[in-house]
Amino acid sequence: MHGTTLDYHSDSISLRIVEALADATGTDAHDLDPLYNVVDPEALDQLCGPDSNAGVRVEFEYDGAVVEVDSDGTVAVDGTVHDSG
């Protein structure tokens, strides 16, 4: 993201997903369609945030890519882990 530095250990899971999608597709994060067109980012942040004890795994498709998010902060796109909280 231009001019923005993310701290992967403190930023929301939804921001980590956007960065993982940008990395996986070779696209600038600002050029991606909004995540909320596919899934509710606020709900993901609550389910998979650092204070969550939910023990959940969320999977959804974004522009043909399979995104997997675990409540431990792991983000994978098409099976490749891009970040773990």
Task: Name the DSSP letter for residue 5.
Answer: -
Task: Tell me whether residue 8 is in a domain.
Answer: no
Task: Tell me whether residue 3 is in a domain.
Answer: no
pLDDT at 83: 58
CA atoms of 50 and 24, how far apart (whole Å):
24
Task: Tell me whether residue 52 is in a domain.
Answer: yes
Number of domains observed in the structure of the chain:
1
Q: Band the pLDDT of 5: cuts 50, 70, 90.
A: very low
- What is the pTM assigned to this prediction? 0.79
CA atoms of 32 and 19, how far apart (whole Å):
10
Q: Band the pLDDT of 34: cuts 50, 70, 90.
A: very high
Task: Tell me whether residue 7 is in a domain.
Answer: no
Residue 71 CB neighbours (<10 A) = 18
Task: Tell me whether residue 29 is in a domain.
Answer: yes
Task: Tell me whether residue 64 is in a domain.
Answer: yes
Are 16 and 76 contacting, i.e. CB atoms less than 8 angstroms apart?
A: no
pLDDT at 15: 92
CA atoms of 49 and 45, how far apart (whole Å):
5
Task: Tell me whether residue 18 is in a domain.
Answer: yes
Which is it for strands 75-77 and 65-70: parallel, antiparallel or unpaired?
antiparallel
Extract the tokens encoding 8: 């992967």
Task: Tell me whether residue 39 is in a domain.
Answer: yes
Residue that wins the pLDDT comparison between 48 and 54 = 48
Summarised one tens digit per residue, pLDDT across range 7-22 is: 444 578 999 999 999 9
